[in-house]
Amino acid sequence: MAARGDSTPSPRPAQVTRVDVASDRGVFMISVAAELANMHPQTLRMYEARGLIEPKRSPKGTRLYSQEDVDKLRRIQEMTAELGLNLAGVERVLRLEKEIAAMNARIQEMELEALQAQVRLAQELEEVRRSFRAELAVPYRGGLELVRARDARSPFKRVPKA
């Protein structure tokens, strides 16, 4: 706090503004992305040349990395440093993971289709059951009496099979 008579203003507390950005939006230039991933910028260029990472581009052609890109770079570094994979192995792992994700999405889609088909079949079966529950008029001793079809006996004698 400034003393009375002192012309210097008292320092204001720092104001923090938080901005939420989509994790797939390119916002980091190569130097920042390299620092966040603890890599050299040339390594990022090499990974891009091999197709391991695809940064967005600004209208002027500057590489812009997203948070997802930085996470992927860290993952690549983990696979090479800790798991001992070479870049061909990393490429294979990433390709297989992409295929697995696509297959899982297809499985979920097929499960949903099967469930919808099951519901449709259950509805159709219920409609058929209702139509068979219709009551029939059958002659019975003293006149007509309503009897359910399932309770009626056949007027034909059964012939035993030989």
Q: How many CB atoms lie within 10 A of CB 65?
A: 25
Token couple for 55: 């940064």
Confidence of residue 136 (pLDDT cuts 50, 70, 90): very low
Q: What is the mean pLDDT of residues 128-136?
A: 68
Supply the pLDDT for residue 150.
Answer: 57
Contact status, residue 120 vs residue 126, Cβ threshold 8 Å: no
**Residue 26 confidence (pLDDT) above 50:** yes
C-alpha to C-alpha distance for 46 and 73, rounded to whole angstroms: 12
Tell me the mean pLDDT in the region 41-58: 94
Residue 140 clears pLDDT 60, i.e. is over it: no
Mark out the alpha helices in the chain (DSSP H runs).
30-36, 41-50, 67-81, 87-132
Give the model's confidence band at 141: pLDDT under 50 very low, under 70 low, under 90 confident, else very high: low
Backbone φ and ψ of 14, nearest 5° = -65, 135
The pLDDT tens digits of the residues spanning 52-111 come to 999 999 999 999 999 999 999 999 999 999 999 999 999 999 999 999 999 999 999 999
With b meaning 16 or more CB within 10 Å and e meaning fewer, what string describes 118-144?
Answer: eeeeeeeeeeeeeeeeeeeeeeeeeee
Q: What token pair was written down for 121?
A: 């079949």
Alpha helices in 7-86 (DSSP H): 30-36, 41-50, 67-81
State mean pLDDT over 123-130. 86
Residues contacting 39, CB < 8 A, separation 6+: 73, 77
Banded model confidence at residue 153, pLDDT cuts 50, 70, 90? low
**Res 22: pLDDT:** 81
